[in-house]
Amino acid sequence: MSGDSDCTRTSPSVGSPSDNEFLPDRPRYVCSLSPDLIAKAREELQEKPEWRLRDVQALRDMVCKDYPTLGTCLDDAFLLRFLRARKFDYDRALQLLVNYHSCRRSWPEVFNNLKPSAIKAVLASGFVTVLPHLDTEGRHVVCIRPDRWTPSNYPITENIRAIYLTLEKLIQSEETQVNGIVILADYKGVSLSKASHFGPFVAKKVIGILQFFLHGSDLNSLHQNLPQRILPEEYGGTSGKLDIAAWNELLLASEEDFLHDFSQLVLPGDSSPSEALVSGDAEEKQSEEPLRGMKPQLYYCY
């Protein structure tokens, strides 16, 4: 689906109380948040349910006006992800959406043919998985273990693809969009030769995609942030051995979701010029900042 065809459809005016009624070919948004999470989103994300569709339509109009060839999905639920990530600041949400597509166009070796079945080897290695229990803030915990990767088996970009698909799957949930995600990256046992694969260029690319802030940590401080009852034995927890099977099965079963999502993106070779999607200075500085704190140890990321 091209950006042109989507943006040239007749759109209702911003503020219309029944936006979705005018868009029969677009999925109708139905809020799945509990009353408590609606209240949390209002307080922490500046999300007002009575203005939600108005805000989504405002972002949609900005995309169509400023980036008519972006080739993005314009469904309510998809755009709402970007508004929540930037606390309903329209300009910052738009920039994040543009960066989202810019990264995909500039890194085809990661985003071409991106689907769970294409990264089975990474999933089987245990390089990335999701713990079965949420933390006290209702967040999923993603565990990344670089020591499980053997460079001779496949290139580092396959690891990045697996991380991306994992996070993309989690963020589809409205609860995750409000509560956030915790990433636990364990660099224990990573040799200097293997660490060299995670050079500044790759790290900067990954951070540009995921927009993380990294904080060095040890197990004691980790337990101050994540309760031991949700952690596996490998990290001083009491929830048993780390099991990767459940998450692997869930992600692999969502193949159709990704085929639908990525069929709408305009990748390299299409008509949309990537030069029009250069990130702004503010976002660039935001991407560079976390690199200064990276060390070969356990990281607690949020």
pLDDT tens by residue, 204-260: 555 555 447 343 445 666 777 789 999 999 888 999 999 999 999 999 999 988 876
- Is 148 within 8 Å of 195 (Cβ atoms)? no
Which residues 6+ apart lie within 8 Å of 281 measured at CB? none
Residue 206 has a pLDDT of 56
253 three-class SS? coil
Characterise 171 by phi-psi region: left (phi > 0), alpha (psi -120 to 50), beta (else). alpha
- Is 126 within 8 Å of 145 (Cβ atoms)? yes
d(CA 92, CA 97): 9
Q: How far is CA 258 from CA 174, 264, 265, 283, in A?
A: 17, 10, 11, 26
Least confident of 86-90, 164-168, 210-214, 234-238: 210-214
Q: Could you tell me the two tokens for 294?
A: 């990276």
d(CA 226, CA 236): 11
pLDDT tens by residue, 33-53: 999 999 999 999 999 999 999
Residue 31 has pLDDT above 70, yes or no: yes
d(CA 271, CA 255): 27
Amino acid making up residue 15:
G
Q: Please give the model's pTM, rounded to 2 decimal places.
A: 0.76
